[in-house]
Amino acid sequence: MFNVHVQVTYKDSVLDPQGQAVQKAIERLGFEGVSEMRIGKSFEMQVAGDDQEAVREKVAQICDQLLDNPNMEQYHYDIQKAGTTR
């Protein structure tokens, strides 16, 4: 069993109006030194299996077919054997 964390964000070439709005709010609140705010989606799942490479392939297929829009978004994921800490 593996614990998987998937992070989906807009590609750098895609405007992120929600991220820009949050960035402006941070500045209005007086926080300095924060830039390049991007908004994304986070997914947590457990995937059964003993072979990490097979789990990696399955997660990539799930991301490609369901979790991200390949025209606008990119994804990154972290896979940990269940019972280990990050």
Q: Where are the domains of the chain?
A: 2-81
State how beta strands 40-47 and 73-81 pair: unpaired
CATH C-level class of 2-81: alpha beta
Distance between CA atoms of 45 and 51, rounded to whole angstroms? 16
- DSSP code for 50: S
Q: What is the pLDDT of residue 85?
A: 61
Structure confidence at residue 18 as a pLDDT band (50, 70, 90): very high
Q: What is the pLDDT of residue 83?
A: 80
Q: What is the pLDDT of residue 3?
A: 96
Q: Give tens-digit pLDDT for 19-68.
A: 999 999 999 999 999 999 999 999 999 999 999 999 999 999 999 999 99
Q: What is the pLDDT of residue 16?
A: 95
- The answer to whether the CB of 34 falls within 8 A of the CB of 23 is yes
